[in-house]
Amino acid sequence: MLYPLIRKFFFALDPELAHGLGMNGIEFLNRAGIACLLAKPVAANPVELMGLTFPNPVGLAAGLDKNGEHIDALASLGFGFIEIGTVTPRPQPGNPKPRMFRITEKQAIINRMGFNNHGVDQLLANVAKSKFAQAGGILGINIGKNFDTPIEKAVDDYLICLDRVYNAASYVAINISSPNTKNLRELQKDDALDALLGQLKAEQTRLADKHGKYVPLVLKIAPDLEDEQIQSIADLLRQHRMDGVIATNTTLSRAEVEGLPNANEAGGLSGAPVFERSTAVLKKLAGHLKGEVPIIGVGGIMQGADAVAKLDAGASLVQLYSGFIYRGPDLVGDVARAIAERRR
């Protein structure tokens, strides 16, 4: 389709600049009614999960549309669900630029964005304008903490965001696994995670009563976990009856890209090199959860076979991010078709 022709242009630019231009380009094509130039229609392949009906099992991971500014345009590319964010209670600029780097030899990206976003109120204003959201499209909202909120008070930020986004979201994702906010991953440890999940689930119950609807809560975890940590997280997910888990975020490891240009840049590594590590965590997690908590698989999906491997490891849905940047919108249909073939 159109994307392979213009990728060379985008990849000649600074990655963050290219990202902004790309999002604006998709927006323009959608408003002009010609988004079909970017991607073929994706056949329906519904999945029932967390009390929701996903039109197909291929979603967009958080991070591509942090402020919910391009929901309708991205939905036009065939995604079964869209996850926006990560959003924080207050606007924040994120880390200093440059903060995004390509490793094209390995179809990888390193980012240290740092939850740059316009704040939860602006995100909600954007969601309110979305035809996709108004029509009942599956919209996940990924929430985090502000960089200057002390880690011991992080739960306050998550509770603020959960309260604000609850009525606008199909599900809410709790991001405690970004490597680009100081000490955030400390929240994955036993006592901290137990306390966080307990308070979030209590707030979910209160909000369900208030709004008369139940909005699922899912936890997004890192790939850099020891076996004991995976077991502990699984136990807490089951204990607190979490509705789902996203496995995984980016990795701090550089084993797969060592010696390549940009490999020593600080931040989280995504793309093809994280696939094996992410899928291994997913498989171990699935073994511990025994089907009690559904898993959304993300990390290094660059082709249909990668998505099938995620499902074989125990995922029920998948999400794309770096593969979408390297392969373009055609990847959505490729992955959807591969999964449909697997289900036959």
**pLDDT band for position 254 (cuts 50, 70, 90):** very high
**pLDDT band for position 264 (cuts 50, 70, 90):** very high
How many folded domains does the chain comprise?
A: 1
Taking the alpha carbons of 240, 244, 247, 248 in that order, is the dihedral positive or negative? Answer: negative
Whether omega for the bond prior to residue 251 falls within 30 degrees of 0, making it cis, is no
**pLDDT band for position 171 (cuts 50, 70, 90):** very high
**Average per-residue pLDDT in the chain?**
97
Global pTM exceeds 0.85: yes
Q: Is the pLDDT of residue 36 over 90?
A: no
Predicted confidence at residue 152, as pLDDT, reads 96
Percent of residues, the chain, with pLDDT higher than 70: 100
**pLDDT band for position 62 (cuts 50, 70, 90):** very high
Quote the CA–CA distance of 226 and 304 in Å, as a whole number: 28
Q: What is the mean pLDDT of residues 202-208?
A: 98
Which residues are catalytic, by number? 178
Residue with tokens 């770096």, as numbered in its chain: 322
Within 10 angstroms of residue 331's Cβ, the number of other Cβ atoms is 25
Q: Residues 66-83: pLDDT tens digits?
A: 999 999 999 999 999 999
**pLDDT band for position 128 (cuts 50, 70, 90):** very high
Q: Is the pLDDT of residue 210 over 70?
A: yes
Q: Residues 289-319: pLDDT tens digits?
A: 999 999 999 999 999 999 999 999 999 999 9
The CATH number covering residue 277 comes to 3.20.20.70
Which domain range does residue 105 map to?
3-343
Q: Is the pLDDT of residue 1 over 70?
A: no
Percent of residues, the chain, with pLDDT higher than 90: 96
Contacts of 312 (CB under 8 A, 6+ apart): none
No. of helices (H) and no. of strands (E), the chain: 12, 13
